[in-house]
């Protein structure tokens, strides 16, 4: 019964299996019979973009793009221009642009669900992959195709069901992704012998399959870890976010709208952040999209990256427990200073690149002002928005004292009933797949090589700089520095 149920699209949860019950997720065929609207458009764009990049590189391959300092070498390579990312660009003052469009542009221009106000993540994927604003019909075609590819193999279901509830949701998520790699079309074709010109094709197919399956995997983890294990069936007439919200167990239309917004604004943040760079790096070794994305999610699980949204909510919860809801600005300042003097950071504030309030924070703030203006947690977040930056500036160590995306997301999720903070990074991961898999597809289109930057030791850097100083002081008697490492 279990084997048949899984093959037919039924998912056996740990809790439900113990009671001899099963939760159903409707089975769909895994691949479309003919190229989809999205793939057809991509096939039209690829030769144009390949020719553009080929001509550009032929003229300027020897051009010096920039220089960097010792501080950047020791400082996480921040500001070093060393990657190509077509899907989005992050400006320190303006924030993220998806293919040239700001987030307000994206909210305004991308297709919405019937009766909805927030953009569809499927439309975001179309935009990031093609550079074009899709029509409602094109966005709907992606929704239907993802629904058709959403079935999960039995061994992945069994793996998730076997995890004890003490395993962190992100650990479950990355493990399930690695197990799902058995479905990789890219890996199978590569093992059989594949022409390099087809790398992008099977990367795209894997990406579409993976994006289709992620909500079901994420919902299984949530329902098994925190609820009764029942996962609702996929409805092919609904959009990606609507099915995801329903599988999680949330039927409030406003939670679905929040999911559409959340999954759109977390989708991409150019190529240098930990998760995006990791997917690119691992993918450059020709690892398939499943393994590349799983590696990126291990990076997202770090507290300086995606886990920060969990850290923010825990910090806010502790703040409310100690001070209460009727907190004054002076009490807030005292608490923030205690945090800083204790050698801790104020989570949700500051960013490695941004030097202004994160536009993703602003999108969420505007959603809250419209739908939950009187929520106590939102009011606390609003007070912090005015109090934290001056304190951080006075502290003198923050280059950017302004709130980032993590400062707000947990508040919205809590309001609509998703209170399990340890799960929030999984939601982030489902969203981030949209951007990094679109980018990985273009890595394959352009045939980007194995990434292998040069590293140096401290002694090597010292010798190099000493030689350079001596050469510049007296070039007639000293040789230019040579990196012997």
- List the chain pLDDT tens, one digit each, 485 residues: 233 233 334 444 555 444 333 333 433 333 445 789 999 999 999 999 999 999 999 999 999 999 999 999 999 998 899 999 999 998 877 889 999 999 999 999 999 999 999 999 999 999 999 999 999 999 999 999 999 999 999 999 999 999 999 999 999 999 999 999 999 999 999 999 999 999 999 999 999 999 999 999 999 999 999 999 999 999 999 999 999 999 999 999 999 999 999 999 999 999 999 999 999 999 999 999 999 999 999 999 998 888 877 888 888 888 888 888 788 889 889 989 998 999 888 888 876 665 678 899 999 999 999 999 999 999 989 999 889 988 988 887 777 888 888 888 889 999 999 999 999 999 999 999 999 999 999 999 999 999 999 999 999 999 999 999 999 999 888 888 877 66
Give pLDDT, residue 15. 53
Give the integer Cα–Cα distance in Å for 219 and 232. Answer: 9
Compute how many other C-beta atoms are within 10 angstroms of the C-beta atom of residue 95.
Answer: 23
Q: Which of the residues are catalytic?
A: 305, 351, 406
Give pLDDT, residue 106. 97
| 300, 169 Cβ separation under 8 angstroms | no
Give pLDDT, residue 80. 92
Residue 101, H or E segment: strand 101-102
Give pLDDT, residue 351. 67
Residues 380, 386, 391, 393, CA torsion sign: positive
9 CB burial (10 A radius; 0-12, 13-18, 19+):
middle
The CA–CA distances, whole Å, from 49 to 41, 62, 443, 478 equal 12, 20, 12, 47
The CA–CA distances, whole Å, from 56 to 49, 67, 99, 419 equal 10, 21, 19, 50
- Residue 243: both structure tokens together: 């099915």
Compute how many other C-beta atoms are within 10 angstroms of the C-beta atom of residue 478.
Answer: 14
Q: What is the DSSP letter of 421?
A: G
* DSSP 3-state of 95: strand
Bridge partners of 46, per DSSP, are: none
**Which bin fits 71, alpha (ψ -120 to 50), beta or left (φ > 0)?**
alpha
Give pLDDT, residue 159. 97
Bridge partners of 403, per DSSP, are: 349
pTM for the model: 0.90
């Amino acid at each position: 019964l279990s084997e048949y149920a899984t093959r037919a699209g039924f998912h056996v949860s740990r809790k439900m299996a113990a009671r001899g019950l099963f939760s159903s997720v409707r089975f769909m065929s895994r691949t479309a019979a003919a190229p989809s609207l999205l793939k057809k458009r991509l096939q039209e764009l690829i030769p144009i973009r390949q020719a553009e990049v080929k001509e550009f590189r032929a003229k300027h391959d020897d051009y010096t793009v920039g220089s960097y300092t010792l501080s950047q070498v020791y400082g996480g390579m921040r500001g070093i221009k060393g990657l190509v990312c077509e899907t989005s660009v992050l400006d320190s003052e303006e924030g993220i642009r998806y293919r040239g469009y700001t987030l307000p542009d994206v909210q305004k221009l991308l297709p919405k669900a019937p009766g909805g106000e927030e953009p569809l993540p499927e439309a975001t994927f179309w935009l990031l992959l093609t550079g074009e604003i899709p029509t409602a019909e094109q966005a709907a075609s992606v929704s239907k195709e993802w629904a058709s590819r959403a079935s999960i193999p039995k061994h992945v279901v069994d793996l998730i069901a076997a995890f004890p509830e003490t395993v962190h949701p992100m650990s479950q998520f990355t493990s399930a992704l690695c197990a799902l790699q058995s479905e990789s079309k890219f890996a199978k074709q590569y093992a059989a012998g594949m022409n390099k010109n087809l790398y992008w094709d099977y990367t795209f197919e894997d990406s579409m399959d993976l994006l289709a399956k992620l909500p079901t995997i994420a919902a299984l983890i949530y329902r098994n870890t925190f609820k009764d294990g029942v996962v609702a069936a996929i409805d092919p007439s609904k959009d990606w976010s609507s099915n995801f919200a329903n599988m999680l167990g949330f039927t409030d239309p406003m939670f679905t709208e929040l999911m559409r917004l959340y999954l759109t604004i977390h989708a991409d943040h150019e190529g240098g952040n930990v998760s995006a760079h990791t997917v690119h790096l691992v993918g450059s070794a020709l690892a398939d999209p499943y393994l590349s994305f799983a590696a990126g999610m291990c990076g997202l699980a770090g507290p300086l990256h995606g886990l920060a949204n969990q850290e923010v909510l825990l910090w806010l919860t502790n703040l409310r427990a100690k001070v209460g809801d009727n907190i004054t600005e002076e009490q807030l300042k005292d608490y923030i200073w205690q945090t800083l003097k204790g050698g801790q950071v104020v989570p949700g504030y500051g960013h490695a690149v941004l030097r202004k309030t994160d536009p993703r924070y602003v999108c969420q703030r505007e959603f809250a002002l419209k739908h939950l203006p009187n929520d106590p947690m939102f009011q606390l977040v609003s007070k912090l928005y005015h109090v934290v930056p001056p304190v951080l500036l006075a502290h003198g160590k923050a280059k950017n004292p302004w709130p980032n995306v993590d400062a707000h997301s947990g508040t919205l999720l809590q309001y609509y009933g998703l209170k399990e903070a340890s799960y929030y990074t999984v939601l982030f991961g489902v969203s981030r797949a949209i951007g990094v898999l679109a980018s990985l597809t273009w890595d394959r289109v352009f045939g980007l090589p194995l990434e292998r930057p040069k590293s140096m030791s401290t002694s090597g850097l010292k010798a190099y700089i000493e030689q350079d100083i001596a050469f510049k002081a007296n070039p007639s008697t000293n040789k230019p520095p040579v990196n012997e490492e």
